[in-house]
Amino acid sequence: MVTAIVLIVIVAFIVLFFISSYNSLVKFRNQVKNAWAQIDVQLKRRHDLIPNLIETVKGYMTHERDTLENITKARSQAVAAESVGEKAKAEGELTSALGKFNLVVENYPDLKANQNFLSLQEELTSTENKISFSRQNYNDQVLFFNNKIQMFPSNIVAGMFKFNEEEFFEIEDQKEKEVPKVSFS
Amino acid sequence: MWELIQANKRKSIILIISMGILLVLLGYIIGSAYIPDGGGLAGVFIALMLWGVLYLISYTRGSKILLAVSGAKEITKDIHPQLYNIVEEMKIASGHPFMPKVYIIDSAAPNAFATGIKPDNTAIAVTAGLLGRLNRDELQGVIAHEMAHIVNRDILFMTVSGIMLGVIVLISEVFIYSLWFGGGGRYSKSSKDSGQGQIIFIVIAIAFAILAPIAARLLYFAISRKREYLADASAVRFTRYPEGLASALEKISRSTEELKKANKVTAPMYIANPLKKKGKKLNDLTSTHPPISERIKILRGIAKSADFNAYQTAFNKVTGKETNIIPPAELKDSTPINIRDAIGLPALGLTKKQTQRNVGNLIMKLNDYSFINCECGVKIKIPPNYKKKIVFCPRCRRRHKLK
């Protein structure tokens, strides 16, 4: 009688552990997915902003046709990209094309006085930030999820129900990987 | 992140329980001093009721009251796109699922606070003076600090313990005043019936009524300061740019304007103490905010990495203490993160007059003024109650049609 009760308690305990472990794994996987979706939203926003930007600056920057064409080309490649790897590569190129553009802008004081351009620039800066912050958040979530999958005891449940490790969003652009300088100006 | 919130919750619960014990003891002893037989339980009941009612009010209406008292106005994205964008950025960086509402306070003093007990209904408010003075990176640092308060659930904790502190102070003061003024006659009459027992109770009660508020204050202030440091550390982790917050704090501390709408109750909510301009230095133990110069030094002492370990190292070096600002479990997991370059738009370099004009324009925009740029260079400001169809430029007398 006593052994039966003990057995029932142990089994109930194990079942409860499995249920709660499974549920939390599902929750964390959804958080990873959600974080990925956020990156997509911001990338789409960047694609939408670029035609506007080109339209606004075209008249001012007659000598910078190459820079502008590079941006347009990088954008259409990024829009067409399908796989995660392709996407990361194309978006990296777009980022560096926009970086070059920001450097050139300094030579056009007229442009920097244009209200329309200033508000576009704010939108673009913010979208760039949002992309890197959502990437940052995505990688944090992936790290947490992968730790859960590897660590005991949740690794048992993860193995049984085939929870696979997620991929980090790696930065393709070599320049971004370098340790940045800190300027105290 | 998750361990951080968990550790925060545990610590808050311990603190709230010890404050709660203090409150119950105070109620019991003062109740017994009034009525020796059974008065203690009544005292406990009254103390807890008072706390419960105040908590209920602040849980349901706290944010609204605070925002209204500080004169904050909710904005949409078109009133200040940059501010709105930055709040969105920090929402993403912190991984918080809900967008806080954004408010601007009509004041030239630079300051900011966050409010909202429920995670899905929070708000961040900044003063117009802050927006006028800071560049994009600095503003981002301030917003990150406020977002950290929201994500770390600091507001819930501050409200619960703040109200306990308030009730403890209130009960003690009422008791001491009643002894001073009305209590004398009553006390002499009842002492005839109950004799020495009650006198002892009254002496203990007086001692307790003096000591309890001091103890509660120290508890509250100690943890509140720790939370400011923690929010700074989280802000660095969100933005990956410690210099932004450091130079924002420097600008805030340099300003001489006082935030008129802040008071003793709302002061702990702000990023920097709004009531500091009285000429005397507050005692370190009784201040809700760590000294701002120390916060700046720690932020500037962070070398190379934006993770919690780097902040803790810098903290130990600057203060010479070994206090754990970040829970050890979180430190163990923390890996180095690169600090980024200043990506924001270049510093504005405005004169004081330009700053004042920007702040003025922003406040007018908040109050539904509309603007017309005249060809002679004058910006005409039209108040919302202006009913005529045309307006003349005050300098060149040009006619402008209104929509």
Instruction: Assess if residue B363 is contained within a domain.
Output: no
Q: Does residue B260 share a domain with residue B164?
A: yes
Greater model confidence, B11 or A34: A34
Q: What is the mean pLDDT of residues B204-212?
A: 87
CB B159 within 8 A of CB B51: no
Q: Counting beta carbons within 10 angstroms of the beta carbon of residue A122, is it exposed (0 to 12), middle (13 to 18) or buried (19 or more)?
A: middle
- The shortest CB-CB distance from B89 to any of A35, A130, A185 is to A130
* Site from A32, A119, A137, A176 to mutate, B interface, most B CB atoms within 10 angstroms: A137
A42 vs B contacts (CB less than 8 Å): 92
pLDDT at A7: 93
- The shortest CB-CB distance from B342 to any of A122, A144, A183 is to A183
- Residue B122 backbone dihedrals phi, psi, to 5 degrees: -120, 170
pLDDT digits (tens, 9 = 90+) for B36-71: 777 888 888 988 998 889 888 888 888 888 888 888
C-alpha dist (Å) from residue B23 to A134, B9, B168, B202, B241 = 44, 20, 6, 17, 42
Interface residue A154 vs chain B (CB under 8 A): no
- Residue B113 backbone dihedrals phi, psi, to 5 degrees: -150, 165
Q: Mark yes or no for CB contact B81/A119 under 8 Å.
A: yes
Distance from CA of B291 to the nearest CA of A (A): 22
Q: Mark yes or no for CB contact B89/A128 under 8 Å.
A: no
Please list the alpha-helical segments (H only) found in chain A. Answer: 2-57, 65-80, 84-105, 109-113, 115-150, 154-160, 174-177
CB B315 within 8 A of CB B298: yes
Q: Does residue B374 share a domain with residue B346?
A: no
Report B:8-47 residues touching A (Cβ under 8 A).
Answer: none
pLDDT grade for B182, boundaries at 50, 70 and 90: low
Instruction: Assess if residue B5 is contained within a domain.
Output: yes
Q: Does residue B182 share a domain with residue B154?
A: yes
Q: Does residue B28 share a domain with residue B133?
A: yes
B82 vs A contacts (CB less than 8 Å): 122, 126
Q: Does residue B316 share a domain with residue B380?
A: no
Interface residue A103 vs chain B (CB under 8 A): no
SS3 A33: helix
B240 vs A contacts (CB less than 8 Å): 136
Q: Does residue B88 share a domain with residue B192?
A: yes
Interface residue A20 vs chain B (CB under 8 A): no
Give kind and range of the element (H or E) at residue B124: strand B123-127
pLDDT at A143: 83
Q: Which positions of B are catalytic? A: 146
* Site from A134, A136, A182 to mutate, B interface, most B CB atoms within 10 angstroms: A182
Please check the confidence at residue B10 and state whether its pLDDT lies above 80: no
- The shortest CB-CB distance from B92 to any of A38, A121, A144 is to A38
Taking the CB of residue B372, how many other CB atoms lie within 10 A of it? 15
Taking the CB of residue A65, how many other CB atoms lie within 10 A of it? 10
pLDDT grade for A173, boundaries at 50, 70 and 90: very low
Q: Mark yes or no for CB contact A182/B81 under 8 Å.
A: no
Distance from CA of B327 to the nearest CA of A (A): 17
* Site from A127, A133, A169, A175 to mutate, B interface, most B CB atoms within 10 angstroms: A133
Q: Does residue B270 share a domain with residue B348?
A: yes
Q: Does domain A24-169 fall into CATH 1.20.1440.20?
A: yes
Interface residue A167 vs chain B (CB under 8 A): no
B1 vs A contacts (CB less than 8 Å): 140, 144
A133 vs B contacts (CB less than 8 Å): 89-90, 92-93, 238
Instruction: Assess if residue B129 is contained within a domain.
Output: yes
* Termini Cα distance of chain A: 78
Please check the confidence at residue B251 and state whether its pLDDT lies above 80: yes
pLDDT digits (tens, 9 = 90+) for B334-369: 666 667 766 545 444 455 666 667 777 777 777 777
d(CA A4, CA B183): 68
Instruction: Assess if residue B360 is contained within a domain.
Output: no
Q: Counting beta carbons within 10 angstroms of the beta carbon of residue B8, is it exposed (0 to 12), middle (13 to 18) or buried (19 or more)?
A: buried
SS3 B389: coil
Interface residue A24 vs chain B (CB under 8 A): no
Interface residue B342 vs chain A (CB under 8 A): yes
pLDDT at B279: 42
Distance from CA of A134 to the nearest CA of B (A): 6
The full DSSP string for B174-218 is: HHHHHIIIIIHHHHHHHHHHHTHHHHHHHHHHHHHHHHHHHHHHH
Quote the distance between the C-alpha of residue B315 and its chain's center.
Answer: 22
SS3 B271: coil
d(CA B124, CA B140): 12
pLDDT digits (tens, 9 = 90+) for B130-167: 988 888 899 999 999 999 999 988 888 888 888 888 88
Q: Does residue B298 share a domain with residue B166?
A: yes
- The shortest CB-CB distance from A140 to any of B1, B340, B345 is to B1
Q: Does residue B382 share a domain with residue B299?
A: no
pLDDT grade for B85, boundaries at 50, 70 and 90: very high
C-alpha dist (Å) from residue B169 to A61, B48, B59, B165 = 67, 14, 20, 6
Domain total of chain B = 2
d(CA B42, CA B34): 10
Mean pLDDT of chain A: 81
Q: Does residue B200 share a domain with residue B77?
A: yes
- The shortest CB-CB distance from B95 to any of A123, A140, A183 is to A140
According to DSSP, the residues that pair with B112 across neighbouring strands are B126
Q: Mark yes or no for CB contact B345/A122 under 8 Å.
A: yes
Inter-chain contacts counted by CB atoms under 8 A, chains A and B:
61
* Site from B89, B91, B240 to mutate, A interface, most A CB atoms within 10 angstroms: B89
Mean pLDDT of chain B: 80
Quote the distance between the C-alpha of residue B313 and its chain's center.
Answer: 26
Which residue is closest to B336 within chain A, CA to CA? A179
The full DSSP string for B19-79 is: HHHHHHHHHHHHHHHH-TTTHHHHHHHHHHHHHHHHHHHHHHHHHHHHHHHTTEEE--TTT
Q: Does residue B383 share a domain with residue B255?
A: no
Quote the distance between the C-alpha of residue B336 and its chain's center.
Answer: 30
Taking the CB of residue B371, how many other CB atoms lie within 10 A of it? 11
pLDDT digits (tens, 9 = 90+) for A96-105: 888 888 888 8
Q: Kindly give, in sequence order, each residue whose CB lies less than 8 Å from that of residue B137, ignoring residues fewer than 6 positions away.
A: B239, B241, B243, B244, B247, B342, B343, B344
Question: What are B179's two structure tokens?
Answer: 């002894």
pLDDT digits (tens, 9 = 90+) for B308-335: 888 888 888 888 777 777 776 666 666 6
Q: Which amino acid does the sequence have at A139?
A: N
B300 vs A contacts (CB less than 8 Å): 184
Indicate the domain borders of chain A: 24-169
- Residue A104 backbone dihedrals phi, psi, to 5 degrees: -70, -35
pLDDT at A8: 93
pLDDT at B194: 54
Q: Does residue B389 share a domain with residue B320?
A: no
According to DSSP, the residues that pair with B371 across neighbouring strands are B381
pLDDT at A10: 93
- The shortest CB-CB distance from B341 to any of A38, A123, A181 is to A181
pLDDT digits (tens, 9 = 90+) for A1-17: 889 999 999 999 989 98
Instruction: Assess if residue B358 is contained within a domain.
Output: no
CB A132 within 8 A of CB B87: no
pLDDT grade for A181, boundaries at 50, 70 and 90: very low
Domain that includes residue B396, residue range:
368-401
Give kind and range of the element (H or E) at residue B104: strand B101-105
Report A:126-145 residues touching B (Cβ under 8 A).
Answer: 126, 128-130, 133-134, 136-137, 140-141, 144
Q: Print burial letters for A69-97: b (CB count within 10 Å at least 16), e (below 16).
A: ebbeebbebbeebeeeeebbbbbbbbbbb
A119 vs B contacts (CB less than 8 Å): 81
